[in-house]
């Protein structure tokens, strides 16, 4: 059998994928994977069947075959043969466990090396602890400030220590349930210690050399520090240590206003701190569409959070317990003082200790591990997945990539990573959720773009909630009406974005959204209303009217 990949024009949906697959199957092709999003099909042909017959079949199915190339199949390893392990995984987060579980299901002998706490960022110091405290902060904020006349709500002083203890108990429970207990459940080995590559086939852990047929590096990232004078002499906080505080600071300054800075800044604002978010950029969330940035900025200012944009950071100093951040904004010098200082200016890959050069693994400018479409590094025996590659930094992406590594490294399937449609959520209030292309990205890719921008005060759910700061934005191909991107600022935006993800992933059009039934008085109805907004003024429609 020979494996081929052919470019195909004319596929627009999953139905087209099926048509192509059937056409190829009819001429004897096997293991067919057709993708309308990538405009290609990958398949195998017996030695006695030529590629021209495959091209002819595609033409007869009324699609246009393009360039065809032979694909080098991934060599399937012999399990349980020479070497200590079939797969040796460095790291123990989402990517690591996904790869381990699937590899064991293939019958592989697997070990996982962890130098710190099992479970990685998400469960221990990221998603789980921050989101549970964010919910606590929201409840406290609503108790102090609610938009309904006649409701008498109030909030006392926040006792942060019990909240943090409760958070730690939840983290411990989920860490055991979703990670530690699975080690025995699936029967792979956990090795505690620092992994250092000796050569392309071997790592050393605690003075012992271990070999494997394949490796996966999934060591994640850690907070990075900006080059600001005096910062190293100040008692600053990171996203990890902030969540360990036992008292709510009177004032909190946050350097950096990306998703981590905004989430944690709003958390402590809701718990009672006076919060100042500071950033170098002139625009909040500059990588997002303008309408999204504006809606988020408006919401934060309405809530009483201080924003300092376009700042040049001169130096940081500490006098007693007070941290002072000296900046220049619009040519004027300014000093922001606070009891606590959070530095949230991005993350760096955890690769320094691995000695990757000994294994022939190339890294990028930020020391991220470079991988190809199959998650393979420059060393064909070594794979990488998750945040250490500086791809989309979401645990669900890491888990997906870990599964692909198992399929390729152990199963020999030669699967490509497909990160063309990745939803993202920022858990502020209102929350921010996006999927697909921004308007600018769509234009850069050559699309003729049409857009719809629906303010949240046109969405009935937001009106009855009495929280109408936000927006729905749809980006579509003007020629085909296919949805290219969806961007939302609203309560429950993270829940709504899954429906939008399916719409973008499977090539739905604006008309498809218009023709669907959306439950009234849900935030998801905003998707349909935004679709109607392409050619109607929804403020002049009756409830549920189309």
Contact 382, 222 (CB under 8 A): no
Is 44 marked within a binding site? no
Specify the pLDDT at position 29: 93
**How far apart are the C-alpha atoms of 451 and 180, rounded to whole Å?**
47
Residue 65 maps to a domain: yes
State mean pLDDT over 98-106. 97
Active site residues: 11, 13, 16, 63, 122, 127, 543-544
Do residues 241 and 337 share a domain? Answer: yes
Do residues 287 and 218 share a domain? Answer: no
Specify the pLDDT at position 265: 98
Specify the pLDDT at position 542: 74
Specify the pLDDT at position 245: 98
Which DSSP string do the residues of 278-300 spell out, in sequence order? E-SSSSTTTTS-HHHHHHHHHHH
What pLDDT band is residue 535 in, cutting at 50, 70 and 90?
A: confident
Specify the pLDDT at position 206: 95
Do residues 108 and 135 share a domain? Answer: yes
Residue 42: both structure tokens together: 């990958």
Is 120 marked within a binding site? no
The total number of structural domains in the chain stands at 4
Kindly tell me if the per-residue pLDDT of 40 is higher than 90: no
- Domain range enclosing 165: 85-223+348-410
Among 344, 371, 394, the domain-final residue is 344
Assign residue 26 the CATH number of its domain: 3.30.70.100
Task: Convert the pLDDT of each residue in 47-67 to its tens digit.
Answer: 889 889 999 999 999 999 998
Among 309, 344, 379, the domain-final residue is 344
Weakest-pLDDT range from 24-33, 37-46, 279-288: 37-46
Is 165 marked within a binding site? no
Do residues 383 and 447 share a domain? Answer: no
Among 40, 70, 100, the domain-final residue is 70
State mean pLDDT over 504-513. 96
State mean pLDDT over 325-352. 97
- Does the pTM surpass 0.85? The reply is yes
State mean pLDDT over 527-541. 88
State mean pLDDT over 108-126. 96
Do residues 141 and 256 share a domain? Answer: no
Residue 416 maps to a domain: no
Do residues 103 and 216 share a domain? Answer: yes
Do residues 260 and 329 share a domain? Answer: yes
Assign residue 496 the CATH number of its domain: 3.30.390.30
Specify the pLDDT at position 166: 97
Do residues 233 and 219 share a domain? Answer: no
What average pLDDT does the chain have?
94
What pLDDT band is residue 211 in, cutting at 50, 70 and 90?
A: very high
Do residues 61 and 122 share a domain? Answer: no
Q: 269, 263, 303: which is closest to 431 by C-alpha?
A: 263
Residue 495: both structure tokens together: 């829940």
**How far apart are the C-alpha atoms of 483 and 503, rounded to whole Å?**
7
Kindly tell me if the per-residue pLDDT of 71 is higher than 90: no
Residues in the chain: 546
Specify the pLDDT at position 70: 83
Kindly tell me if the per-residue pLDDT of 81 is higher than 90: no
Is 346 marked within a binding site? yes
Whether omega for the bond prior to residue 264 falls within 30 degrees of 0, making it cis, is: no
State mean pLDDT over 231-249. 97
Kindly tell me if the per-residue pLDDT of 544 is higher than 80: no
Do residues 102 and 218 share a domain? Answer: yes
Residues 6+ apart with CB under 8 A from 265: 252, 254, 257, 275, 277, 305, 342
Task: Convert the pLDDT of each residue in 272-328 to its tens digit.
Answer: 999 999 999 999 999 999 999 999 999 999 999 999 999 999 999 999 999 999 999
Do residues 139 and 9 share a domain? Answer: no
Kindly tell me if the per-residue pLDDT of 87 is higher than 90: yes
Residue 78 maps to a domain: no
Specify the pLDDT at position 78: 72
Assign residue 262 the CATH number of its domain: 3.50.50.60
State mean pLDDT over 117-139. 96
Is 256 marked within a binding site? yes
Residue 417 maps to a domain: no
Residue 149 maps to a domain: yes
Is 259 marked within a binding site? yes
Specify the pLDDT at position 47: 86
Do residues 104 and 182 share a domain? Answer: yes
Which strands form 322-329's sheet, in the order they lie side by side?
311-319, 322-329, 332-338
State mean pLDDT over 176-198. 97
Specify the pLDDT at position 80: 72
Residue 79 maps to a domain: no
Range 418-423, long-range pairs (CB < 8 A, 24+ positions) = 418/35, 418/37, 418/38, 419/391, 419/392, 420/37, 420/38, 421/37, 421/501, 421/504, 421/505, 422/392, 422/394, 422/397, 423/497, 423/498, 423/500, 423/501
Task: Convert the pLDDT of each residue in 413-464 to its tens digit.
Answer: 889 999 999 999 999 999 999 999 999 999 999 999 999 999 999 999 999 9
Task: Convert the pLDDT of each residue in 369-402 to its tens digit.
Answer: 999 999 999 999 999 999 999 999 999 999 999 9
Residue 77 maps to a domain: no
Residue 397 maps to a domain: yes
């Amino acid at each position: 059998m020979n494996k081929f990949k052919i470019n195909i024009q004319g596929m627009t949906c999953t139905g087209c994928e099926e048509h192509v697959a059937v056409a190829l199957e009819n001429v004897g092709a096997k293991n067919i994977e057709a993708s309308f999003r990538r405009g290609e099909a990958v398949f195998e042909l017996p030695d006695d069947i030529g590629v021209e017959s495959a091209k002819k079949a595609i033409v007869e199915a009324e699609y246009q075959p393009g360039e065809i190339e032979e694909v080098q199949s991934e060599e399937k390893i012999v399990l349980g043969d020479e070497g200590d392990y079939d797969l040796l995984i460095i790291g123990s987060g989402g990517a690591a466990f996904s790869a381990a579980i699937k590899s064991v299901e293939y019958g592989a002998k697997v070990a996982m090396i962890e130098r710190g706490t099992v479970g990685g960022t998400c469960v221990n110091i990221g998603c789980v602890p921050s989101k549970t405290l964010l919910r606590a902060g929201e409840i406290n904020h609503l108790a102090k400030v609610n938009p309904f006349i006649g409701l008498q709500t109030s909030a006392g002083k926040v006792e942060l220590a019990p909240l943090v203890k409760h958070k730690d108990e939840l983290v411990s429970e989920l860490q055991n349930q979703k990670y530690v207990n699975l080690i025995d459940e699936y029967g792979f080995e956990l090795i505690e210690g620092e992994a250092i590559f000796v050569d392309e086939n071997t790592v050393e852990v605690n003075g012992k050399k271990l070999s494997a047929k394949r490796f996966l590096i999934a060591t994640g990232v850690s907070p990075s520090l900006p080059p600001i004078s005096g910062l190293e002499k100040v008692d600053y906080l990171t996203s990890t240590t902030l969540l360990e505080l036992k008292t709510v600071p009177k004032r909190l300054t946050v350097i950096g206003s990306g998703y981590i800075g905004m989430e944690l800044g709003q958390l402590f604002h809701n718990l009672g701190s006076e919060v100042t978010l500071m950033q170098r950029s002139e625009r909040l969330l500059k990588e997002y569409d303008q309408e999204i940035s504006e809606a988020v900025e408006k919401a934060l200012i309405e809530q009483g959070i201080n924003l300092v944009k376009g700042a040049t950071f001169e130096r940081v100093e500490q006098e007693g317990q007070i941290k002072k951040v000296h900046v220049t904004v619009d040519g004027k010098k300014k000093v922001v003082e606070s009891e606590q200082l959070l530095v949230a200016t991005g993350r760096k890959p955890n690769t320094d200790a691995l000695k990757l050069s000994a294994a022939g693994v190339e890294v990028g400018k930020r020391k991220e591990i470079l991988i190809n479409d199959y998650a393979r590094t420059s060393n064909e025996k070594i794979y990488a997945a998750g945040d250490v590659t500086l791809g989309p930094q979401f645990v669900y992406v890491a888990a997906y990539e870990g599964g692909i590594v198992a399929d390729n490294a152990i199963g020999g399937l030669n699967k490509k990573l497909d990160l063309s449609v990745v939803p993202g959520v920022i858990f502020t209030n209102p929350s921010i959720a996006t999927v697909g292309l921004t308007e600018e990205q769509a234009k850069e890719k050559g699309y003729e773009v049409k857009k719809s921008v629906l303010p949240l005060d046109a969405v009935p759910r937001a009106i009855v909630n009495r929280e109408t700061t936000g927006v729905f934005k749809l980006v579509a191909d003007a020629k085909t009406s296919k949805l290219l991107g969806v961007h939302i600022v609203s309560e429950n935006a993270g829940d709504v974005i899954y429906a939008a993800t399916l719409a973008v992933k499977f090539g739905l059009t604006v008309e498809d959204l218009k023709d669907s039934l959306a439950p009234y008085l849900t935030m998801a109805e905003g998707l349909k209303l935004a679709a109607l907004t392409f050619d109607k003024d929804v403020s002049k429609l009756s409830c549920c009217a189309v």
